[in-house]
Structure 1
Amino acid sequence: MDFSSRNVETGFQHLCESVFVRLCQIVGTSVQVAIRRETVDITEMVERRVAENDEDIAILSGSMREGFRLKESDLDFMKWLNNHRVIWDMCQSEYYYTENKTLIISDSSESPPGFTLLELLTPTTDRRVQSACVPMNDRLYISSSLLRQQTQTHHYPGSTEHGPCESGEILGRLEYDFAWCFACDIWPPSASSWINRCLSWPDREVVDDIIRNGCHFVPIGHPLGLHEHEEWRISFSVAEHKLVHTMNHCQFLTYGLLKIFLKEVMDKLSEETNKLLCSYHMKTVVFWVIQQNVVPLWCPHNLLAGFWVCFKFLINWVYKGVCPNFFIPKNNLFLTKIHGSAQRSLFLQLHGLYEKGLVCLLQSPSIRSYITDVLYNPRLSICTNEDRMKSECEYDVGLFHEINRNVSQAPENLASCIKYLQVLELMIGEPLTQYQVLMLQRITAYILQNTAFSLHNMYTNTGLNKQMYIADRISRHMLKLAAKFGCISDMMFIAMHNYKALRYRDALSITKIIKDKLAQPDLMYYAHVDPERYTESVGGQSWSTKMRKAVARNIVLNNNVCYINELLTEQKSALQNNRHKSFIPLFVVVQFVEFLCYRHIDTTLAQTAQEELQVLVHHDQGLYVSEHHRDISWEILGICQQMTGNLHAALFSYQQSCTQYPWNKIQNATQMRIQDLHIT
């Protein structure tokens, strides 16, 4: 089919617009992508400002950080020591106070482009770095392979080493990559040519921002390097997500289409070639095409022209066996993978797709029907107005989901809570987007809750009644404030505080209000919502109002803080396994607190609360108790049964908890509780 013919110019535009609409459904509209990026941005900003010199800094990277939420999108994290910095030249050491910063110098004299050795210049107190040091030529270098071994934490069962990362799967579905690295505040000299290339894209402000943020070093050497096990790869991950964020939405969707085409078409060509190309190659080709200004106009009716140019670039690279890194072109990304017979085979297969023209997109299940609709109905009217593609409810589901997933703070004590509050107070006056304001609001509510319980715990059992009274009053005020600009679930923290302060009837009055709100037909519990009822009830109102009136989520407990004494064993177990937060279904917590309170008031009602909890845990099909949180839900049911003396039922519940996916990492606590039952 000749799409270049004038006779089909209108049909080609319709085809582009149809694929644009489909990609907005799969990848997201520009508003959805902005929500994803900006909520992550504000969380990262808070964490950077709060981090102490001797703490670690972790950021989300990869496709999720870029704004994708595809089924195959991995959770990619980078983590580095805040008190370690890499420099390129000895004279740069004067930028740092070496009493509190460990300096490392890059030595790339014997490494391939894009790789380097890292020499330890000043002493380090970090045992992992110490253990990874190896002597070479009378100097001490940090071995990338040894550091990978030292930092393997095995976050979840079945994790393995994959390149520079610890990789694994959560519940057999969501893949994650976790990479330890070192940070460098100074732009690499080997990437200086990139600065001079940026004439048309990106603009100078973005270039300056990228340069100011330097780069990172991930623990993987070049397979053909002289020191493969000691070398480190220069990572431009932060620079890359800034570049992706500068793309217009059509460019971003083209990148998304290439990722989809890779997974659904190119990876299916043959077993010999299905692992040769990766998503990073797709991103690289989009960068080069945009910067070289090959596509004159990136817009919906020209989307497939942009895709086709990128595809031709890729085929040409495979033919030559050269994929130049965007920042260091001398670093050939194909060097060790695409050569010889595999290269020839891949080229022939890609060229076969090229000869078919854009019809090759029909091999993509995600795109096929939208192409055939236009081919069979050339006069089909297509609306590319993004505002009409998604309903208000759909946007709200995405927004609140992103806000919930990005509340990652876990202050260790009251002093840490206060530091967070000080940082948040300073950020209120900064220029923020509407999504970032809401994200900041959500983080503030969570930190206030942490502060309230930390303060209460500090003065409990001190015998100083006046101080206990003052602390209790301040704590209650903070929790009420958090509930005012939080969601329905935030009221639960008031109920837990009342239980902790022995105000059982006050706690029960709050749980009743929560249960009434959870029974409302307009409730949004994650993606579970009746769109019509929700829109009828809160449509058109502010997000703050919607959140307070109609939105609920799971309860997130900071494991450094005691909220309910009966769960302290589980929180300690999680901390021992490097899990700083516990995630409990709201409906489970409501029944648990009711059970605990009624034990002091009415044993019959306590039994009723336990039975309701039992029905929920035994029979819920993922509506209120997700698969991720069944471990702690069974655990809480077992605790209730053990407290009432029903030991065999408790044993069964604990055993069920052990068989669930260990999301909350409470297995040690479960085993301890089973032993305490003394059932033979």
Structure 2
Amino acid sequence: MQRLSESVFTGLCHKVGTPSHVIIRRDVVDITETFTNEILAKSACSMIVSGSHREGFRLEGSDVDIMPFPNNAYVVWDIDQAQNYELGEIFLLLCDSSESPPGYTLLRINLIRNMTGGLTNLYKKYLFAGFKINNNIYISSSKYKQFFGAFLQRGTEHGPCINTYVGGAEFDMALCVQCSFWPPSASSWIDRCHSWPQPHVVEDIVKNGCHFVAIGHKLGRLKDHEWRISFSQAEQKLVYSMNHSQFLTYGLLKIFLKEIINSGIATHDKLLCSYHMKTAVFWVIQQKAIPHWYPQTLLEGFWVCFKLLLRWVYEGVCPNFFIPENNMFLSNIHGVAQRLPFSRLYELYEKGLACLLSSPTIRPYVIKVFYNPRQYICTDEFNPRQSTFENLETAMFLHLDFMKEIYNSQFVSLPIQSGGIVSLETVEHLIGFPLTQYQAVWLQRVAALCFHRIPFLIFYRLTDTGANKLMYRVDKMSCHMLSLAAKFGCFSDTLYLAMRFFHTSRYMKALSIIELTKTKFAQSYAMFNNILVWLERFCQLARGKFSSVLMHITPVNINLHSCYYYMNELIPEQSVLKRSDNLCIPPLVLLYMLEFLCAIHTDSIRAQRALNDLHDVVHFDLEEYKDISWQILGICQQITGNLQAALFSYQQSLRQTPRCGIQTVTLKRIQDIIMTANQL
């Protein structure tokens, strides 16, 4: 079993992530949350990021959960805890668990405290979700969620969450209220923590209290009004405290659940979920059912967790890790409903570890050992038996993944979307914090985003007053900020400066920037296509600062924010975006579009060459955002008067995966071409 465990361990490192991959992901999500809450500090709410995405997983279907909560409302367990808050500043809610199942509670408004504290207006704001029991006013979880859910973009409710879209990315948003105190019903958990987690982790968890999520128990008498005690922050800290073998065991259980246990089952019939897997891992680690968690004992740990899960299903009892009295199977895997999941799990149990052969993800790593049982398997991230070249290659791809994390995290940090001085001030403030190298580079990227968004925002809001000296100063400052964006960010960020020059009819300056950017693109593609050249250049530049170097030599997509227009030619496409969305364009597509638009004013031959290059890129080189790329090709062809080619490009845009949501604009452009053709 040891050799088999090692093989599955290395396979999971490829699928789930190595220790370095997981550290990078967590660092980026942590700094994103910190940055966002620094900006939201003076507003009405804060938020925490939770779910498997926060824990460090990037498996298909890994959810990004956001838990927003009001800054001016706190929950207390007894009235004595109210003394910790200043009168007139905080709206207090008091727990009443007398009518609720374990793990759930009602939240009562403390009328005397809130009215005497000068919070009458705030009290009225919360009264929209109020209901009465015996002359006491409580906050209803369903009313609370219904009210705030109406403000979310394209929000659809499922369970405690509202599925919504922000900045073009999908999120599950669980509305909650914060509590600074550890629940009395979870005090037994503190007493159980003898060996895991470490005392400082326990102290940190207890110090940060808990949250209350707007969802009631399905079998509760007041299920529409109850709130569930959420330990999301505590769970995240527990997952962070796992060693990598424990984390991969958790990942293996998630894969096992998706690809084997729930395979072929309709969504509404899936009774087991990944939260049950996580709970099983927590219990097994704390009870020391496995004396040592190493790569060589990975499958032993997995099998112990699986047997615990099987026992829970047989008994119909899944004890919550923090409040064991809360049976998480009570509402769905209980009584007659136990039979089907138990028979399914017991059938897998009888197969033993051979059941893993049914997993498309794990099967190759199991078969690998059967074919060559004596093959050496290295479980180290950087293999001492590999050459320096191979280990450098591993480091290179690790940091390319880091660039992907940076890019994807932009959609999580909501305040960046509007750009502004506040974001830059926040970056300046956080620079003084103790940061990892990845978090420092993330802040560098945020600074670049601000530098190229602020100038466009200024010009969008600024009207030409005729004061030439003022306009000159503003233009000079804006160009300087756009240059800083390219300096702090990726080399493709120079295209924002080129857009600014094009917009102000400085075509030669724009073409000069474009030519410089094309040279850097050529160097970048040469490096990526020739690994030897890549690594040689990588070693010359890096000197240990891999992440910072990679940001300068890796192109990223260009995001045009919906709050202001960058180019007249793309106004229709930007107009259909929701306020928090971006129009995302591959950098080479925008480069050749800009070159074409500038060159038609200065050099017709160069304009045609740029159009040909754009045609080749759209036809052969793109893997994503093909809808907007075909659209841009059609716009350029329409400008030249080639209506037939433009019509074909627009039709191709409609056939692509709708990543940018521009179908209505594409149809309008097709109609315009048909009308123009009929008039000729």
TM-score calculated relative to the size of structure 1: 0.85
Sort the Cα spacing of 1:155 and 1:535 in 2 relative to 1 into closer, same or farther, 3 A. farther
Matched with 2:250 is 255
Match of 1:293 among 275, 278, 288: 288
Q: CA deviation at 1:168?
A: 8.3
Match of 1:113 among 102, 110, 113: 102
Q: CA deviation at 1:281?
A: 0.5
Structural RMSD (CA): 3.6
Q: Distance in 1 between matches of 2:482 and 2:375?
A: 55
Matched with 2:480 is 477
Matched with 1:193 is 188
Matched with 1:161 is 157
Matched with 1:595 is 596
Sort the Cα spacing of 1:337 and 1:659 in 2 relative to 1 into closer, same or farther, 3 A. same
Q: Do 2:489 and 2:552's aligned partners in 1 also have CA atoms closer than 8 Å?
A: no
Sort the Cα spacing of 1:138 and 1:667 in 2 relative to 1 into closer, same or farther, 3 A. farther
Sort the Cα spacing of 1:30 and 1:465 in 2 relative to 1 into closer, same or farther, 3 A. same
Q: Distance in 2 between matches of 1:668 and 1:124?
A: 44
Matched with 1:493 is 496
Higher deviation after alignment, 332-341 or 211-220: 211-220
Letter in 2 for 1:264: E
Report 1:45-60 matches (<5 A): 45-60=34-49
Matched with 1:583 is 584
Q: Do 1:87 and 1:105's aligned partners in 2 also have CA atoms closer than 8 Å?
A: yes
Sort the Cα spacing of 1:145 and 1:405 in 2 relative to 1 into closer, same or farther, 3 A. same
Q: Distance in 2 between matches of 1:581 and 1:125?
A: 35
Q: Distance in 2 between matches of 1:228 and 1:182?
A: 17
Letter in 1 for 2:200: E
How many residues in Structure 1 have an aligned counterpart in Structure 2? Answer: 654
Superposed CA deviations along residues 145-179 of structure 1, whole A, max 9, x for unmatched, are: 3444444579898x753212234899xxx985333
Letter in 1 for 2:537: S
Matched with 2:410 is 407
Q: Distance in 2 between matches of 1:519 and 1:153?
A: 48
Sort the Cα spacing of 1:101 and 1:458 in 2 relative to 1 into closer, same or farther, 3 A. farther
Sort the Cα spacing of 1:57 and 1:606 in 2 relative to 1 into closer, same or farther, 3 A. farther
Match of 1:145 among 119, 134, 142: 142
Match of 2:309 among 297, 305, 314: 314
SS of corresponding position for 1:333: coil
Q: Distance in 2 between matches of 1:411 and 1:369?
A: 44
Q: Distance in 1 between matches of 2:664 and 2:148?
A: 22
Report 1:92-131 matches (<5 A): 92-96=81-85, 101-119=90-108
Q: Do 1:411 and 1:450's aligned partners in 2 also have CA atoms closer than 8 Å?
A: no
Q: Distance in 2 between matches of 1:567 and 1:327?
A: 53
Matched with 2:113 is none
Matched with 2:61 is 72
Matched with 2:20 is 31
Sort the Cα spacing of 1:658 and 1:368 in 2 relative to 1 into closer, same or farther, 3 A. closer
Report 1:187-336 matches (<5 A): 187-268=182-263, 275-336=270-331
Sort the Cα spacing of 1:421 and 1:310 in 2 relative to 1 into closer, same or farther, 3 A. same
Q: Do 2:417 and 2:561's aligned partners in 1 also have CA atoms closer than 8 Å?
A: no
Q: CA deviation at 1:328?
A: 1.5
Q: CA deviation at 1:37?
A: 0.9
Overall identity of the aligned pairs, in %: 49
SS of corresponding position for 2:175: strand
SS of corresponding position for 1:44: helix
Q: CA deviation at 1:250?
A: 0.7
Matched with 2:622 is 624
Matched with 1:6 is none
Matched with 1:535 is 535
Q: Do 1:144 and 1:230's aligned partners in 2 also have CA atoms closer than 8 Å?
A: yes
Sort the Cα spacing of 1:45 and 1:543 in 2 relative to 1 into closer, same or farther, 3 A. same
Q: CA deviation at 1:19?
A: 1.6
Superposed CA deviations along residues 119-150 of structure 1, whole A, max 9, x for unmatched, are: 45566779996654445544544433344444
SS of corresponding position for 1:480: helix
Q: Do 1:53 and 1:83's aligned partners in 2 also have CA atoms closer than 8 Å?
A: no
Any stretches of 5+ residues in structure 2 without a counterpart? 111-118, 384-390
Sort the Cα spacing of 1:608 and 1:373 in 2 relative to 1 into closer, same or farther, 3 A. closer
Match of 2:549 among 529, 534, 546: 546
Task: Please tell me whether residue 393 in structure 1 is matched to residue 396 in structure 2.
Answer: yes
Q: CA deviation at 1:46?
A: 0.9
Matched with 2:563 is 560
Superposed CA deviations along residues 527-585 of structure 1, whole A, max 9, x for unmatched, are: x86544422332462335633553111012333344334444544432xx343433222
Letter in 2 for 1:453: F
Matched with 1:511 is 514
Q: Do 2:27 and 2:438's aligned partners in 1 also have CA atoms closer than 8 Å?
A: yes
SS of corresponding position for 2:223: coil
Matched with 2:457 is 454
Q: Distance in 2 between matches of 1:387 and 1:473?
A: 48
Q: Distance in 2 between matches of 1:563 and 1:95?
A: 50
Q: Distance in 2 between matches of 1:215 and 1:665?
A: 39
Matched with 1:9 is none
Q: Distance in 1 between matches of 2:549 and 2:576?
A: 36
Q: Do 2:189 and 2:322's aligned partners in 1 also have CA atoms closer than 8 Å?
A: yes
Q: Distance in 1 between matches of 2:137 and 2:670?
A: 49
Sort the Cα spacing of 1:611 and 1:273 in 2 relative to 1 into closer, same or farther, 3 A. closer
Q: CA deviation at 1:386?
A: 1.2
Q: Do 1:284 and 1:325's aligned partners in 2 also have CA atoms closer than 8 Å?
A: yes
SS of corresponding position for 2:320: coil
Q: CA deviation at 1:332?
A: 0.8
Q: Distance in 2 between matches of 1:194 and 1:349?
A: 32
Q: Distance in 1 between matches of 2:123 and 2:638?
A: 43
Higher deviation after alignment, 296-305 or 200-209: 200-209
SS of corresponding position for 2:465: coil
Q: Do 1:459 and 1:468's aligned partners in 2 also have CA atoms closer than 8 Å?
A: no
Matched with 2:386 is none
Q: CA deviation at 1:226?
A: 0.9
Q: CA deviation at 1:61?
A: 2.1
Q: Distance in 2 between matches of 1:52 and 1:579?
A: 20
Q: Do 2:524 and 2:553's aligned partners in 1 also have CA atoms closer than 8 Å?
A: no
Higher deviation after alignment, 654-663 or 382-391: 654-663
Q: CA deviation at 1:86?
A: 3.5
Q: Do 1:124 and 1:130's aligned partners in 2 also have CA atoms closer than 8 Å?
A: no
Sort the Cα spacing of 1:202 and 1:596 in 2 relative to 1 into closer, same or farther, 3 A. same
